[in-house]
Amino acid sequence: MRYIDIDNINFIPGRRLERSDTFSFHCHKDIACFNKCCRNLNLFLYPYDIVRLKKCLNITSDEFIDKFVDVVSREQHFFPVVLLKMSDKKEAECNFLSESGCSVYLDRPYVCRMFPIVQGTFYDAQAGIDKSLYFFNPPPFCLGKSEIKEWTPDLWIKDQDADFYTKMAGEFEELQRLFQSDPWGAEGIGGQKAKMAFMASYNIDKFRDFLFNSSFLKRYKIKSDVLKKIKTDDVSLLKLGFEWIKYYLWSIKSLNIKMRS
Ligand code: SF4
Ligand code: SF4
């Protein structure tokens, strides 16, 4: 998913689709281009992707970030993006690509699920518009677009089991929009606040450890039912992390967390 502003909506590659528009596509193991698309990618990872992948690989989020992630800063954005690291092999294929396909298929990232659809959000605060946009954008070598199976964006999301991913990506996107202005002040993007926000977004196991084994709970009060849940539930903790970042950096009122007086 990416943000699309009003001025450049016509420059997004691919065919724009409304939710009821159709596109033809079918990807399968016998297709000549099988696995060709899983190489040399700038593949954005969302926080929920990391929750799923680290669980699938049975490692911590810290290990996952260390081993499988590139963290990239962007101009005019005050929060880095996280990309899935490609291998050092000649064709820079994805580290999860195996001969028989994606080795983490059931937990593959959101962008992989949606492919060849690119989802974006058309957001205009003044006009009150917050709308999902879809673009059909298979690469030229992708033969799946010549197959006759027909989809709409809605049917595709359902088929790829991407509903919950879409919801979680939307929640993160709401947070990311706030980073269009600089919340770091004098300490800058390399400072302590930025490290904390990164941890709460992407490094869920470390965030949990920090939350329960530092003075955090002496400084913040968390609703008791939420506190109980986040001990073991990564998704609840991730949602609380988003809430906490908004509260911590922008003083946006939170339902579940507040500063102790
Ligand atoms: S290039 Fe297209 S058809 Fe080929 S494997 Fe990738 S998604 Fe499937
Ligand atoms: S995670 Fe799986 S589907 Fe996504 S690029 Fe890697 S191998 Fe391909």
Q: List pLDDT tens digits, range 57-90.
A: 999 999 999 999 999 887 777 898 899 999 999 8
β-bridge partners, 101? 98
Our answer on whether the CB atom of 36 is closer than 6 Å to any ligand 1 atom is: yes
Q: Report yes or no on 170 lying in a domain.
A: no
| Closest C-alpha among 123, 116, 162 to residue 140 | 116
Q: Report yes or no on 94 lying in a domain.
A: yes
Domain identity same for 27 and 113: yes
Domain identity same for 118 and 36: yes
Domain identity same for 9 and 87: yes
Percent of the chain with pLDDT over 70: 95
Residue type (1 letter), 37: C
Residue 44, both tokens: 């954005």
Domain identity same for 17 and 118: yes
Whole-angstrom distance, CA of residue 140 vs CA of residue 244? 43
Q: Report yes or no on 47 lying in a domain.
A: yes
Q: Is the pLDDT of residue 42 over 60?
A: yes
Confidence label for 11 from pLDDT (cuts 50, 70 and 90) = low
Domain identity same for 120 and 211: no
Q: What is the pLDDT of residues 145-169, one digit of tens each?
A: 999 999 999 999 999 999 999 999 9
**Mean pLDDT over residues 88-102, rounded?**
94
Name the residue with tokens 């709460």. 200
The rounded Å distance from CA 150 to ligand 1 centre is 16
Domain identity same for 123 and 194: no
Q: Whose CA is nearest to atom 3 of ligand 1?
A: 144
Give Cα 117 distance to the centre of its chain.
Answer: 15
Domain identity same for 29 and 139: yes
Ligand 2 nearest atom to the CA of residue 115, by list position: 3
Provide the domain count of the chain: 2
Domain identity same for 29 and 90: yes
Q: Is the peptide bond before 183 cis (omega within 30 degrees of 0)?
A: no
Domain identity same for 70 and 16: yes
Q: Report yes or no on 12 lying in a domain.
A: yes
**Among 160, 193, 216, residue at a domain's last position:** 160
The rounded Å distance from CA 29 to ligand 1 centre is 9
The rounded Å distance from CA 38 to ligand 1 centre is 9
Choose the residue to mutate in 142, 145, 156 for probing ligand 1, maximizing ligand atoms within 8 Å of C-beta.
142
Q: Is the pTM of this model over 0.95?
A: no
Choose the residue to mutate in 108, 142, 161 for probing ligand 2, maximizing ligand atoms within 8 Å of C-beta.
108
Q: Report yes or no on 129 lying in a domain.
A: yes
Q: Report yes or no on 108 lying in a domain.
A: yes
Ligand 2 nearest atom to the CA of residue 108, by list position: 1
pLDDT of residue 132: 81
Q: Report yes or no on 88 lying in a domain.
A: yes
Average pLDDT, the chain: 91
Q: Report yes or no on 180 lying in a domain.
A: no
Q: Whose CA is nearest to atom 8 of ligand 2?
A: 38
* C-alpha gyration radius of the chain: 20
Domain identity same for 195 and 147: no
Mean pLDDT check: name the lowest of 10-19, 106-115, 221-230. 10-19
Range of the domain at 79: 2-160
Ligand 2 nearest atom to the CA of residue 41, by list position: 5
